[in-house]
């Protein structure tokens, strides 16, 4: 192989590796595009595009009721709501029932975990006021 051929080979190899790195970065990048509201009595996500994990905590009392709207339009979207002891009181992917209520049976800090991969959708969790 001549010196010129080696140079051309190296340049082509670098271009291919650079292209692959850019592709992997763009396609696997964690991030969020949309609207996100985190308050003590609500957690609102209007997701245009999401990759990664988001967490929110709500301090709730026994007898509280959460009004939940959860819909996955595109990609993979998973939500879990954990009780103060760490047990899951809800798990879902937003493709089944999309509007429902959750009755709180134990006072304490509840954690909402949202995991997404190329997702678009809606998650609205609001404490019902009586």
- Predicted confidence at residue 27, as pLDDT, reads 47
What tens digit of pLDDT does each residue of 54-93 get?
999 999 999 999 999 999 999 999 999 999 999 999 999 9
Is 123:44 a contact under the CB 8 Å cutoff? yes
- Predicted confidence at residue 28, as pLDDT, reads 45
Query: Considering the chain, what percentage of its residues have pLDDT values greater than 70?
Result: 84
4: three-class secondary structure by DSSP? helix
- If one compares 21 and 115, the residue with the highest pLDDT of the two is 115
- Predicted confidence at residue 22, as pLDDT, reads 60
- Predicted confidence at residue 36, as pLDDT, reads 95
Indicate the pTM of the whole model: 0.76
For tokens 């340049």, the residue is 11
Closest CA to 115 of 127, 125, 123, 126: 123
Average pLDDT value for the chain = 88
| CATH code given to domain 32-127 | 2.60.120.380
User: Rounded to whole angstroms, how far apart are CA atoms 94 and 106?
Assistant: 25
Q: Is the pLDDT of residue 47 over 80?
A: yes
Q: Is the pLDDT of residue 117 over 80?
A: yes
Q: Is the pLDDT of residue 6 over 60?
A: yes
Domain boundaries, the chain: 32-127
pLDDT (average), residues 45-58: 96
């Amino acid at each position: 192989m001549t010196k010129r051929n080696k140079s051309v080979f190296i340049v082509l190899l670098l271009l291919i590796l650079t292209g692959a790195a850019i592709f992997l970065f763009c396609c696997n990048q964690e991030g969020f595009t949309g609207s996100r509201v985190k308050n003590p009595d609500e957690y609102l996500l209007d997701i245009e595009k999401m990759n990664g994990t988001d967490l929110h905590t709500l301090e709730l009392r026994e007898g509280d009721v959460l009004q939940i709207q959860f819909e996955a339009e595109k990609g993979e979207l998973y939500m879990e709501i954990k009780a103060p002891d760490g047990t899951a009181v809800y798990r879902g992917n937003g493709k089944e029932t999309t509007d429902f209520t959750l009755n709180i049976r134990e006072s304490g800090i509840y954690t909402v975990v949202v995991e997404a991969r190329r997702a678009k959708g809606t998650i609205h969790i609001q404490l019902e006021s009586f």
